[in-house]
Amino acid sequence: MISEKEASVESQVEVRDGYNWMPQICPICKVPPTEFVGRRGGAAHRAALGVECQIWSCGRCRLIFPNPMPMPVKGIGQHYDLNADHYFQHHDLEGKTLDALGMITRAEQLTGRKGRVLDIGAGRGELLRAACDAGWSAVGIEPSASFAEYAARYSGAEIKREPLEQCNFPDCSFDVVILSAVLEHIYNPDEVIKEIARILRPGGALFLDVPNEKGLYFRMGNLYQRLRGRNWTVNLAPTFEPFHVFGFNGRALRMLLAKYGLTVKDWHVYGGRSVLPRRNSFLGHLEHRASQLVTVISNWGGLGTYIETWVVKQ
């Protein structure tokens, strides 16, 4: 039997366009959102990608997310059962491998040892391969069947295909956890960080990076939409690639990490590269050039497009 509360929630779920549309509260603060950010996707997208959502912000931590949240009817495979080479076509394999080696080196500096590392969202397995080559014991989690097969072949590491919460790892069983370009994709970020804190040993380290949805790129993009008379937003991508469903900022991320006893050791906000696709029109060319300029400027003043951090469990 289901409870009265569960029955009430189920009665509010709408099924359409391949999604279950579920009422969403802030997973960090456990309160409903109070600020409407804008429409995103479908008719509210420059290329009409995805299905239209309403994006909202928590009034306390400023985390942004769709409300209601579009949950894929067929599970995450609906989004991620893609050819790995296609999904990662804009990723530099050599560059990712070098980044992975740097991560493993920093992990050893923070923890003082070679140990056991867990890579959540292993993708093609670059980090796992680098860890194994450096003498670490490595395990990956990759729910996408196509990505998991690729990662297993490329890295030779053990790949689990269940979500982290279903892996049943023992307490304090990892020295390092990597959560690179993952937190913005998952539907239960609070539960995932809580579980990571449980499986990290005291003194163990977590690396994660997320888009900074309060960065200059997003602020200027939203201002541009308002100047054009639209209530669109450029934040998130709940129903189209790359399928970002939660939008973090410095305040929200620090609050979530502190909630589970994770102390920041390294904190870096940077501009990265422009993520706006070029369109073959005069306006499209101007938009692309403007986005490149904003990205360069955002490298100063803590307004970059991305946040990366190393944190340590107390």
In total, how many domains does the chain have? 1
pLDDT of residue 187: 97
Give me the average pLDDT of each 10-residue run along the chain (314 residues). 44 91 98 98 96 98 98 89 61 73 95 96 92 96 88 94 95 97 96 98 98 94 96 97 96 98 96 70 71 75 92 95
**Which CATH number goes with the domain that contains 166?**
3.40.50.150
pLDDT of residue 66: 98
pLDDT of residue 286: 72
Which residues, including other chains, have CB under 8 Å from residue 66's CB and lie 6 or more apart?
24, 40, 53, 54, 55, 56, 236, 238, 245
Tokens of 89: 């076509």
Q: Does 129 map to a domain?
A: yes
pTM of the model: 0.88
Q: Does 308 map to a domain?
A: no
For residue 127, the enclosing domain spans 84-211
Q: Does 184 map to a domain?
A: yes
Q: Does 255 map to a domain?
A: no
Q: Does 274 map to a domain?
A: no
Q: Does 44 map to a domain?
A: no
Q: Does 196 map to a domain?
A: yes
Q: Does 245 map to a domain?
A: no
DSSP the chain: ---HHHHHHHHT-EEETTEEEE----TTT-S---EEEEEEBTTBSTT--S--EEEEE-TTT--EEESSEEEETT-THHHH-S-HHHHTTTS-HHHHHHHHHHHHHHHHHHHSS--EEEEES-TTSHHHHHHHHTT-EEEEE--SHHHHHHHHHHH-SEEE-S-GGGS-PPTT-EEEEEEET-GGG-S-HHHHHHHHHHHEEEEEEEEEEEEBTTSHHHHHHHHHHHHTT--B--S--TTSTT----BB-HHHHHHHHHHTTEEEEEEEEE-----PPP-SSHHHHHHHHHHHHHHHHTTSTT--SEEEEEEEE-
pLDDT of residue 295: 74
